[in-house]
Amino acid sequence: MGASSWDYYVPYQEDLDAALQELRREVFQAEEYYWVNGADWRAAEEREPRPQTLEQLWQDELVQQAGTHSILDVFHILGPDDTPDYNTVEPVTAEEARELLGTDKLTRAHVEKFDVFPQSRWVGRCAVLHDDQGEPREIYFWGYSGD
């Protein structure tokens, strides 16, 4: 199948990890992810119902290998001293935004230029987006994952 890109906008909250966890719950509950065990490459009688919890989802070996091609493939926000790794989200820092886009107050208008930020497969990114007065309004999550 190959990796899939994904992106989401959520209302701003100071705790980026709380925003990520809330988004993951919403995507899971809305079933807006690839469910490998229910995919149509399997015979109808072999397809399985979706899991009831995120924990059940990630206990499945095929899901661990193929992913969900969604925000569900990343589990937590990295801290300032953490190294990006599989299943994590790396926030855009103010320094990184200034260096690559010339401002530390990113807006929706900047999103189309976000390809300048380094990213890796199975490692998401996030950025706080500001309104015209420079106030934080949204968090933008993006990445690509899945096999």
And the tokens for 8? 């989401």
Res 127: pLDDT? 98
Total of domains in the chain: 1
Residue 68, pLDDT above cutoff 90: yes
Res 3: pLDDT? 86
Residue 86, pLDDT above cutoff 80: yes
Query: For 3-19, what is each residue's pLDDT tens digit?
Result: 899 999 999 999 999 99
> At 115, is the pLDDT very low, low, confident or very high (cuts 50, 70, 90)?
very high
Residue 1, pLDDT above cutoff 70: no
Rounded CA separation 4/16 (Å): 23
Output the pTM of the full model.
0.94
Instruction: Give percent of the chain above pLDDT 70.
Output: 99
Residue 2, pLDDT above cutoff 80: no
> At 69, is the pLDDT very low, low, confident or very high (cuts 50, 70, 90)?
very high
Q: What angle do CA 28, 30, 34 make, to 5 degrees?
A: 60
Neighbours of 3 (CB within 10 A): 15
Mean pLDDT of 72-94: 95
Q: CA torsion angle for 19, 21, 27, 29 (degrees, to 10)?
A: -130
Q: What angle do CA 28, 123, 142 make, to 5 degrees?
A: 65
Mean pLDDT of 55-64: 95
> By residue range, what is the domain housing residue 23?
4-145
Average pLDDT of the chain is 95
